[in-house]
Amino acid sequence: MTVSVSDLVAAVQRADSALGLLQATQALAAAAHPEGAACLVEVLGFNNPGAAVAAVDGLIAIGTPAVDTILTNIDGYNYGARAWAVRALAGIGDVRGLEVLEDALGKDIGPSVRRAAARGLGQLRLEALVEAERQAVALRCLQALVEGCRDGEWVVRYAVAVGLEALAPALPAAAAQQRLRQALAALSQDPAEEAPVVQLRARLALRRLSLTDAAADPAASAL
Amino acid sequence: MLLPGLGPHHRDRAGGSIEPRQNGSLQSMSGSDGYGASGDPISEAEALRRLRQTDDPSAQYYAAWWLGRNRSRHPEAVPLLQEALRQRRPRDPGAGVEENAVARNAARALGKLGSPAAAAIPDLLATLEDEDHGLREAAARALGDLRATAAVPALCRRLATGPGVAGAMQPGTPRLQEPCEALLEALGEIGVADLEVVAVIRPFVAHERPLIRSAACRALLQLTGDGHWGQQLVALLQHPQLQVRRAALMDLGAAGWRPALGPIAATLAENSLKLIALRGLVETTAAPEAERGLGAATEAVLAAMDALL
């Protein structure tokens, strides 16, 4: 016997305990059905971290068909819900989320929202775009992340380092590559940095990128 | 274990705070208890001026917090905070600031200022004898932050009567007789691992309140390095109350106990707190020397952090 999506949604709406909500959300998320998206977005605002994690996973599993629902339902008044929504957008990587992510990293008052946005700006899926558009989007991501290096919260600067590392393969222009590496180098060496973990993460990113560069070099010379 | 602060009214124990703040300026400080109006971005000179005057305690309260949050190095900061630490006021519900709130924030700020605040250790020791429970608590945490070995005998003396007396409920309040959590954490932070210190802390691992058990296990883990106490903290990550799981996360982070990596990542709690705990695993000097820097073990913690962003 199969359970319909509407039954799964009804179970989430009926849940009257934290555990009940968690289990019902997990079941709905596992279905990964676009019709469950609106209900999953609603769960993001319930202040139940376990259920929110499940709902984000579900929205990411639904992917592109969930993006409109997320974008139209972002809650401007609930930090937690907005952070989860930005995480879902970051995980889906749909380019329609670009503006929300830029805005969130630059202006959002909640560090958890800015940190999710920084990560998301490094992992937008750009393959489907035409070359000129792909470059333009990647440069906007780079610009937002470079500005994010000055964020007042360590966890956001940490996420910026992660975002920059992930963005690197999408940036073809040598000038942009150099700018990205300079931003990471500054994060890794800033004497005013209060969080050694940020410096370590930026160093790790630079080390991995230099390994990629080294691997790419012989191929280039063989041409 | 207290949680990272949401502004001048909360204590930040874990080296990070989650209050709204961006690009070096305070953009919003709207606390839940009505001090938001004083939460504007100010300069260091303005903070010192507000702390120096005594007509407006809520301005002093904010100024004291500001100096700590911004790690002021101004030569007047410590003397002014020492002065504010002595400021006592009767409870006046109309004044907007609670009894002794300025002194409490002064103690917290001194704890954040590091070595320049060493001059204030005798003042904090005197404050540890105050009859105000909240003030003793703030003083204990500040002494822990300052790694004040001179405070160990006084901290031990306050706890020496054990869970049955120091750790007994104060009738009619949610408080214990002593601020046990803060006293235990301070002993762990200061790091004097004498047998007598360990013997004073030990009975609190059986306290009826899980938050006290967590603080005691954390201190014992810091002082002895014995993984048994780390296992106790990991068990608390499964506690049915979110508040207890959060405390155990912060305590494992503060102790930097690397075997907790997997359990921390899997805990049902906010990612923000798990990230702070994992930062502790990366940064704390309690981690074995070989695992610091960018070894494989550190990379594993960083990978777990990446997944939580």
Q: Quick check: A205 contacting B, CB < 8 Å?
A: no
Select from A114, A119, A201 the Cβ nearest to the Cβ of B302. Answer: A201
The pLDDT of A5-18, averaged and rounded, is: 94
CA triple B151-B142-B68, angle to 5 deg = 150
Q: How far is CA A48 from CA A62, A84, B226, in A?
A: 21, 11, 34
**Cβ–Cβ pairs < 8 A, chains A and B:** 77
Select from A109, A110, A197 the Cβ nearest to the Cβ of B279. Answer: A197
In sequence order, the 6+-apart residues with CB closer than 8 A to the CB of B164 are none
| pLDDT single digits (tens) B163-192 | 999 999 999 999 999 999 999 999 999 999
- Residue B38 pLDDT level (bands cut at 50, 70, 90): very low
User: pLDDT at position B60, please?
Assistant: 94
- Tokens for A1, please give them: 């016997």
B305 contacts A158? CB cut-off 8 A: yes
User: pLDDT at position B182, please?
Assistant: 98
pLDDT score of A7 more than 90: yes
- Residue B10 pLDDT level (bands cut at 50, 70, 90): very low
Closest chain B C-alpha to A108 CA, distance in angstroms: 9
- Tokens for B191, please give them: 């790091």
Name which of B209, B282, B220, B224 is nearest B251 in CA terms: B220
B15 contacts A195? CB cut-off 8 A: yes
- Partners of A91 on chain B (C-beta within 8 Å) are none
User: pLDDT at position A172, please?
Assistant: 82
User: pLDDT at position B17, please?
Assistant: 36
Q: Which pTM was predicted?
A: 0.83
- Tokens for B94, please give them: 């109309």
A193-197, A200-204, B286-290: range with lowest mean pLDDT: B286-290
- Tokens for B32, please give them: 């839940």
A42-46, B2-6, B261-265, B302-306: range with lowest mean pLDDT: B2-6
| pLDDT single digits (tens) A24-62 | 999 999 999 999 999 999 999 998 888 998 999 999 999
Q: For chain B, which residues lie within 8 Å of any Cβ of chain A, measuring from their own Cβ?
A: 15-18, 20-25, 27-28, 242, 268-272, 275-276, 279, 282-283, 293-294, 298-299, 302, 305-306, 309
User: pLDDT at position B97, please?
Assistant: 60
For residue B25, the SS3 value is strand
| pLDDT single digits (tens) A121-178 | 999 999 889 999 999 999 999 999 999 999 999 999 999 999 999 999 999 889 999 9
